[in-house]
């Protein structure tokens, strides 16, 4: 019988056959925003380009396009989140701590949860030797810990690109959950050589990079996607507890015409949530699942 290469990280588990549970206060849909706060090298490394849809070669043009996010876009997003009283999960390149102190101060004042996002999105970990990858995970952890006073427990690598041993290294570095496996609408356990790690859902589809940059969808398309996704998942969550997340990048959705559409979408979600939606962050979802009785999370 033909056998194809596989990962061995998790077993097949149909969602209709799993135990059910509720989120805090009986809520059925956990909703979080993953805000990617990133730093890139100038004329070196990798990074998206809105004209070529590739990660290279690097130019001053696409460096400046991305730099707009932390100079302008992120401040408008923070204002929007404050207006709607929405928490966020900050997917943080650790070098941002050294180079953008005002951004770090605003994050601290808001009290957003920090998810480690590597040193910079100018490099990918899936191309490195295991020892080099482990060193970068340690450097990222140490720098974020030094600036926030506590270590991050969640990880999402740059571009969600993992090597064959990334999840092993994360457990060995003390991480409890990862956002790098977009495999489910519920948290699931992933096995590693040193124990297990929780996978918290993170979107590849409901992601402004893929939608607005790589597939040329407009802000209105993304708005419609968010609203349709929310309404469908809210209905589905009557049967299963689910996680909905939106992935945002300040240099993409922070552009005014996209921000205007995003504002409408988030206002719709907040207005229609009722008592069924838990507006939260990935770390809180992970902590809640880690405390559930054994056998509940697949």
The mean pLDDT of the chain is 95
Q: For residue range 237-258, what is the model confidence (pLDDT) as tens digits?
A: 999 999 999 999 999 999 999 9
Q: How many CB atoms lie within 10 A of CB 266?
A: 22
Which pLDDT value is given to residue 54?
Answer: 65
> What range does the domain containing 100 cover?
30-40+69-290
Place of tokens 């349709």: 228
Q: For residue range 161-176, what is the model confidence (pLDDT) as tens digits?
A: 999 999 999 999 999 9
Write down the H helix ranges in the chain. Answer: 60-68, 74-84, 96-99, 101-110, 130-148, 166-172, 208, 219-236, 250-253, 256-272, 282-290
Cis peptide before 185 (omega within 30 of 0): no
User: Is residue 200 situated within a structural domain?
Assistant: yes
User: Is residue 167 situated within a structural domain?
Assistant: yes
Which pLDDT value is given to residue 57?
Answer: 81
Q: Is the pLDDT of residue 56 over 70?
A: no
Q: Is the pLDDT of residue 55 over 70?
A: no
The arithmetic mean of pLDDT across residues 74-78, rounded, is: 98
User: Is residue 63 situated within a structural domain?
Assistant: no
HSE-CB for 84 with a 13 A CA cutoff: 24
Which pLDDT value is given to residue 49?
Answer: 79
Q: For residue range 85-140, what is the model confidence (pLDDT) as tens digits?
A: 999 999 999 999 999 999 999 999 999 999 999 999 999 999 899 999 999 999 99
Which pLDDT value is given to residue 278?
Answer: 98
215: domain CATH number is 3.20.20.370
pLDDT band at 33; cut points 50, 70, 90 = very high
User: Is residue 19 situated within a structural domain?
Assistant: no
User: Is residue 103 situated within a structural domain?
Assistant: yes
Q: Is the pLDDT of residue 145 over 80?
A: yes
The arithmetic mean of pLDDT across residues 76-88, rounded, is: 98
State the pTM of this model: 0.96
Candidate from 37-46, 180-189, 225-234 with smallest mean pLDDT: 37-46
User: Is residue 61 situated within a structural domain?
Assistant: no
The arithmetic mean of pLDDT across residues 33-38, rounded, is: 98
Beta-carbon contacts of 73 under 8 Å, excluding residues fewer than 6 positions away, are 250, 251, 252, 253, 254, 255, 259
pLDDT band at 156; cut points 50, 70, 90 = very high
Number of domains in the chain: 1
User: Is residue 50 situated within a structural domain?
Assistant: no
Candidate from 49-53, 163-167, 193-197, 240-244 with smallest mean pLDDT: 49-53
User: Is residue 77 situated within a structural domain?
Assistant: yes
Which pLDDT value is given to residue 252?
Answer: 95
Exposed / middle / buried, residue 153 (Cβ in 10 Å: 0-12, 13-18, 19+): buried
């Amino acid at each position: 019988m033909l056998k194809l290469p596989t990962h061995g990280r998790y077993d097949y588990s149909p969602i209709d056959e799993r135990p059910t549970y509720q989120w805090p206060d009986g809520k059925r849909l956990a909703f979080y925003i993953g805000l990617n706060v990133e730093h890139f090298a100038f004329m070196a490394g990798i990074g998206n380009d809105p004209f070529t849809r590739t990660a290279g070669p690097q130019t001053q043009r696409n460096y400046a396009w991305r730099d707009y996010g932390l100079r302008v876009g992120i401040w408008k997003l923070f204002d929007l989140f404050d207006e709607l009283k929405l928490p966020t999960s900050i997917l943080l390149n650790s070098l941002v701590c050294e180079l953008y102190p005002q951004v770090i101060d605003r994050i601290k004042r808001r009290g957003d949860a920090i998810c480690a996002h590597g040193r910079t999105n100018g490099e990918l970990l899936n191309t490195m030797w295991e020892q080099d990858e482990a060193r970068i995970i340690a450097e990222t952890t140490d720098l974020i810990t030094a600036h926030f006073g506590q270590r991050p427990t969640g990880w999402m690598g740059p571009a969600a690109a993992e090597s064959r041993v990334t999840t092993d290294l994360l457990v060995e570095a003390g991480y409890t959950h990862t956002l790098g496996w977009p495999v489910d609408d519920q948290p699931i356990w992933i096995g590693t050589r040193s124990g297990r790690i929780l996978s918290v859902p993170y979107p590849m589809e409901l992601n402004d990079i893929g939608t607005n940059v790589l597939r040329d969808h407009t802000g209105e398309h993304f708005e419609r996607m968010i609203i349709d996704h929310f309404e469908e998942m809210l209905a589905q969550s009557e049967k299963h507890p689910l996680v909905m997340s939106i992935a945002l990048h300040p240099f993409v959705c922070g552009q005014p015409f996209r921000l205007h559409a995003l504002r409408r979408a988030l206002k719709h979600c907040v207005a229609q949530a009722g008592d069924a939606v838990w507006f939260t962050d990935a770390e809180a979802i992970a902590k809640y699942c880690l405390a559930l009785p054994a056998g509940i999370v697949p």
